Structure 1
Amino acid sequence: MATILQIETATSTCSAAISLNGETIALKELRAHNIHAGSLTLFIEEVMANAGMAYADLDAVAVSKGPGSYTGLRIGVSTAKGICFAVEKPLIGINTLQMMARGFLGTAENYSGLVCPMIDARRMEVFTALYDQHLTEVLPVSAKIIDEYSYLEELENREISFIGDGAMKCNESILSANAHFSALNFNSAAHMSGLAFEAFNRQDFEDTAYFEPYYLKDFVITQAKKKV
């Protein structure tokens, strides 16, 4: 038996969940900008209370490790590590894009196409990867600038479902009858449950002291223009 606290803060969604043996039993989330720092610990306390759990009852803590928002990932990972240190529980890191794809596949019964989760980076750039219906990686995680030539080869013979907050801005560039776009939110801690349980059973734990988010790109600070 495995009871896991799950945290997702890689995008504008702030999400916390409790899973039992791979099934979500409590969830609290809100999709809004700049709420993670003030809301995450409150969401965690709420799902713990709803599940009737104390921190000592947890078997592990899982966190969405990226790619995604630099600030959001820092908040999520630092919170997860703090809980792990405090109650001496193992830490599980979950690839954010894989988690999104797993969430989509859970809603698409008998789906035989590819799934392409996209996290909005800036302008026409996205953090993305490509998976088949078995969650096998077809194209690795990358930062990709989307244009009319993107995924031409893959779309020739297969349907691709583009999901995530980066997908909808690409629907005017990716023009194919095999391309489908979803505005549903797949950045949810609930979509982590199966992956976290599988990792727990493999004893696939992170080194809590040295674990860092997977940013994919360096954080860039834009300086304000000097006022005259």
Structure 2
Amino acid sequence: MTSILSIESSGNVCSVALHKNGILISQKESKELNVHGKMLAVFVKEILFESKLNTIDLDAIAVSGGPGSYTGLRIGTSLAKAICFTSNIPLISVNSLLSLSLNIKDNCGNLPENTLFLPMIDARRMEVYTELFDLNLKSISNTIPIILDNEFSNILDPQKLYLTGGNGAVKLLKIEKPDNITIVENIDFSADFTGRIAFMKYEKKQFENLANYEPLYLKEFAELIKTKSAF
């Protein structure tokens, strides 16, 4: 049975989870601000102790790969790599936007075939990180940082239905939101979704190079009015 410990630190939620064969066994998380440096390691120790496991009993460590909070990603990555190095187990990186898309999908029922997932991660002011995924959670765009404004609808396909969520999606309420995009409420970061995706990557042996791995940091932002072909 494959045991994977997952660390989610790309946003406001500090979250750690243990999965066996993709099934959630234990999870601990906090939404208190700026506690990643203090609580991630504590959650790891508590979950392992309560599950009667040592790090060497794990098959892999999964970590949120970004985009997201620069500081949060660095803290989570440092902890994950340290466990992998000391226990000689592989590291799996999970796209933070893909994790949010799985969360959105889980919170919806049957969806029309023309539905796309457009998760949004808060950056600053009216800026978000985003990426498009189809119903099978296959990425169909690059991960991009954009500034939301009233030109947002210009980059969307009017024949598609878009579902969005995440801590950046609320910014759509401050602009002229297109009719074909729906905000799914209560979508947030969670190591549960990180771990479920990580198990699929584990089966495909999609591991990271520990020596060179860095999470995805995005810094440059594009004005939507100038980026109508962003997707």
TM-score (norm 2): 0.89
1:155–1:179 Cα contact (<8 Å) kept: no
Q: State the 1:83 CA deviation.
A: 0.4
Structure-2 change in CA distance of 1:4 and 1:151 (3 Å): farther
2:103–2:187 Cα contact (<8 Å) kept: no
Structure-2 change in CA distance of 1:18 and 1:174 (3 Å): farther
Task: Give the structure 2 partner of residue 150 of structure 1.
Answer: 152
Q: State the 1:151 CA deviation.
A: 3.8
What CA distance in whole angstroms lies between the structure 2 residues aligned with 1:53 and 1:174? 51
Task: Give the structure 2 partner of residue 163 of structure 1.
Answer: 165
Give the length in aligned residue pairs.
218
Work out which of the residue numbers 103, 125, 130 in structure 2 matches 1:123.
125
Q: State the 1:153 CA deviation.
A: 5.1
2:191 partner letter = A
Structure-2 change in CA distance of 1:211 and 1:108 (3 Å): same
Q: State the 1:193 CA deviation.
A: 2.4
What CA distance in whole angstroms lies between the structure 2 residues aligned with 1:41 and 1:65? 18
Task: Give the structure 2 partner of residue 191 of structure 1.
Answer: 193
Q: Are 2:78 and 1:78 aligned?
A: yes
The secondary structure found in structure 2 opposite 1:93 is strand
What CA distance in whole angstroms lies between the structure 1 residues aligned with 2:188 and 2:176? 20
Task: Give the structure 1 partner of residue 229 of structure 2.
Answer: none
Q: State the 1:183 CA deviation.
A: 3.6
Q: Are 2:206 and 1:204 aligned?
A: yes
What CA distance in whole angstroms lies between the structure 2 residues aligned with 1:197 and 1:205? 11
List runs of 5+ in structure 2 lacking aligned partners: 221-231
Q: Are 2:106 and 1:92 aligned?
A: no
Q: State the 1:166 CA deviation.
A: 0.5
Task: Give the structure 1 partner of residue 33 of structure 2.
Answer: 33
The secondary structure found in structure 1 opposite 2:77 is helix
What CA distance in whole angstroms lies between the structure 2 residues aligned with 1:187 and 1:26? 16
- What RMSD, in angstroms, separates the aligned Cα atoms of the two structures? 1.5
Q: State the 1:178 CA deviation.
A: 2.1
The secondary structure found in structure 1 opposite 2:75 is helix
2:194 partner letter = M
The secondary structure found in structure 1 opposite 2:140 is strand
Which has the larger strand fraction? 1
Q: Are 2:219 and 1:217 aligned?
A: yes
The secondary structure found in structure 1 opposite 2:152 is coil
Q: State the 1:92 CA deviation.
A: 0.5
The secondary structure found in structure 2 opposite 1:139 is coil
Work out which of the residue numbers 173, 176, 194 in structure 1 matches 2:175.
173
Task: Give the structure 1 partner of residue 12 of structure 2.
Answer: 12
Q: State the 1:198 CA deviation.
A: 1.1
Q: Deviations over 1:54-112 (max 9, x none)?
A: 21210000000100011000000000000001111100011110111012112223223
What CA distance in whole angstroms lies between the structure 2 residues aligned with 1:109 and 1:144? 29
Q: State the 1:154 CA deviation.
A: 2.9
1:120–1:166 Cα contact (<8 Å) kept: yes
The secondary structure found in structure 1 opposite 2:43 is helix
Q: State the 1:48 CA deviation.
A: 1.7
The secondary structure found in structure 2 opposite 1:157 is coil
List runs of 5+ in structure 1 lacking aligned partners: 219-228
Q: Identity across aligned pairs (percent)?
A: 38
1:5–1:60 Cα contact (<8 Å) kept: yes
Structure-2 change in CA distance of 1:151 and 1:46 (3 Å): farther
Q: State the 1:180 CA deviation.
A: 1.3
